[in-house]
A and B are shown apart, each in its own frame.
Chain A
């Protein structure tokens, strides 16, 4: 089983429905090729770091999928590159750590620091654990994968 991830940027000038149908067309295309969609992440409208096709923002989509072969990928990439509604795309093969990282990110584990405090609440009474549970959900998932010190 091979794991892949395709990230693409849809033109933000299109209407909301058109953006969704464009993204859904490629999800359907991948399913027709016989691969299973693991996750379809709508990252939303983001500011681009530099202008592409005179646009300063774009709608990001990230589709993670797995398949037995990778033979259909050039076909999908050709369709993406011919599509004028797609500004950029990138297909990446995921290793086992990448698959695990994405699964952890969806579960909300990334960015949460496993401190001694969290361990203590788990060991403590049930009231403490109930209080501790909603906190990780409220945390945004966009965070560094681990506590990292700035070093320069």
Chain B
């Protein structure tokens, strides 16, 4: 009997499966979010410089609060823009 690995599917069976979201801070053990690091913070904002929601980034609530505080501090210090177009 052929196992599942031997079967060649016409379409990729992984298409349509949901990717499991995870909190990168919990997964990689990041405890502190530096507000002076724009390259890191830019991952949590969209092209207009607005904060991305948790349902997209997958952050846990604890770290989403820290991310939002860090982004707001960076905006105050002109490290990140308040509003813009084509940030990425």
**Residues of B in contact, count (CB < 8 Å):** 29
Interface membership of chain B positions 9-39, coded 1 if the CB is closer than 8 angstroms to chain A and 0 otherwise: 0000000000101001000111110111111
**What interface size band does chain A fall in?**
20 to 34
Interface membership of chain A positions 108-128, coded 1 if the CB is closer than 8 angstroms to chain B and 0 otherwise: 000000000000000000000
Interface membership of chain A positions 86-125, coded 1 if the CB is closer than 8 angstroms to chain B and 0 otherwise: 0010101001011011000100000000000000000000
Q: Is A48 an interface residue (CB 8 A)?
A: yes
Q: Quick check: A100 and B78 within 8 Å, CB to CB?
A: no
Interface membership of chain B positions 21-61, coded 1 if the CB is closer than 8 angstroms to chain A and 0 otherwise: 10010001111101111111001000000000000111000
From the candidates A50, A52, A58, A62, name the one contacting B36 in the complex (CB within 8 A).
A62
Q: Is the interface of A mostly helix, strand, loop or mixed?
A: mixed
Q: Quick check: B37 and A142 within 8 Å, CB to CB?
A: yes
Q: Which residues of B contact A79 (CB under 8 A)?
A: none
Q: Is the interface of B mostly helix, strand, loop or mixed?
A: loop
From the candidates B40, B57, B80, name the one contacting A49 in the complex (CB within 8 A).
B80
Q: Quick check: B43 and A150 within 8 Å, CB to CB?
A: yes
Residues of A within 8 A of B (CB): 7, 9, 43, 46, 48-50, 52, 58, 60, 62, 88, 90, 92, 95, 97-98, 100-101, 105, 142-152
